[in-house]
Amino acid sequence: MTRLPVTKTPKCYVGGAFIRSESARVFPIKDAAGAFFANIPQCTRKDLRNAIEAAAKAGPGWAKRTPYNRGQIIYRLAEMLEARRAEMVEAHTIFGGPPDLVAAAVTTAVDRLIYYAGWADKYEQVLGSVNPVASPHFNFTVTEPMGVVGVIAPDLPPLLPLLSLIVPAIVSGNTVVALASEKVPYPAIVLGEMLATSDLPGGVVNILTGFRKEIVPTMATHTHLRAVAGVVGAEDRKTLQLGAAESVKRAKLLKAEEAINWLADDAQSLYAIRDFVEFKTTWHPVGA
C-alpha cells in the first residue's frame, strides 16, 4: 500500500503558540526546482498588534530574570540549534542555498548565540559606570531594557541576520517581534519550532511571516514598540525613520542594498546590546 507523507503546515510563532494569520490568508513558496513547497501565513497588521501585546505581557517576567539565567536560556537555544543543525541546513538548501555557505551560516548562528549568552551577565559591568560627584554620594549609571523591539530580517540570508538582530535585544531583557524573510521564510518557521521547545518563555520572541508592505508601516508607528532594527531598502527606511520620529522610538537600520558579511566577527558586538538598552543614573548617600 502506498502511503502519503504527512506534510507540515507552517505556522507563525506568537506568544508561545503556533498560529495562522487572523485573516486566514496564505502565500505559496516554491523550492529550488520550482515545485510547490508550502503555504505560508500572510500576517496582517492585526497579527502584528497581537504579537506586540504578547511581547509586552512577557516583558516584565523576562526582564526580572537574572542575567545569568537569561544567558543559560540563550545557551540552551544554541544547544537545540546545534542538535537540529541538519534540519536547519536543509530548510535553506531546499530553496537553493549553497550547501557550504549554508552550513557555515548555521554554524555561525550557533556560535553567535553562545557569544551573546556569554555577555548576559557581563555587559552591565562594561556599559554601566560609577560616576565621580562633588558630594558625599555614590552615583551609578546602570542599564535597563527598553521594552518591545521590532526586528525586520533581510530576504537573504534568512536565518543568520535574523538571529544576529534578535539575540542582542533579548539578552538584556527586551522582548522581540520579528518579521521573517519575505522570500525565504521557512527557516524562520523552523526557528520558531526550536523556540517553542527551548526554555525561552512564550512571548519573548515572536516570529511573523508575510509582506513588508503590509507590516512595516504599522511597525514604524506602533507606540508600544520602543525600538526597531532591521535590514531594509530605501523606501522602508524612510517609512521607519519617519514613523520612529513620530512615535519616539530608536531605529537601527542597515541598508539592504549594501553587502553585509554576517559571517564576520564584527557582525557581533557588545555594542549591539547597547543599542537596545536605556541608561539610568541612581544616587546613593555614602554609608546608606
Mapping DSSP onto H, E and C, the string for 65-109 reads CCHHHHHHHHHHHHHHHHHCHHHHHHHHHCCCCCHHHHHHHHHHH
Q: How far apart are CA 202 and CA 199, in angstroms?
A: 9
Model pLDDT, residue 252: 96
Side chain identity at residue 263, one-letter code:
L
Q: How far apart are CA 273 and CA 266, in angstroms?
A: 13
What's the whole-model pTM score? 0.94
Residue 154: how many CA atoms within 13 Å on its side-chain side? 20
Model pLDDT, residue 190: 97
Taking only the tens of pLDDT, the chain with its 288 residues reads 788 888 888 999 999 999 999 999 999 999 999 999 999 999 999 999 999 999 999 999 999 999 999 999 999 999 999 999 999 999 999 999 999 999 999 999 999 999 999 999 999 989 987 778 878 878 778 899 999 999 999 999 999 999 999 999 999 999 999 999 999 999 999 999 999 989 999 999 999 999 999 999 999 999 999 999 999 999 999 999 999 999 999 999 999 999 999 999 999 999 999 999 998 888 888 875
Model pLDDT, residue 130: 78
Model pLDDT, residue 288: 59
Q: How far apart are CA 15 and CA 50, in angstroms?
A: 9
From the centroid of its chain, how far is CA 232? 15
Model pLDDT, residue 60: 97
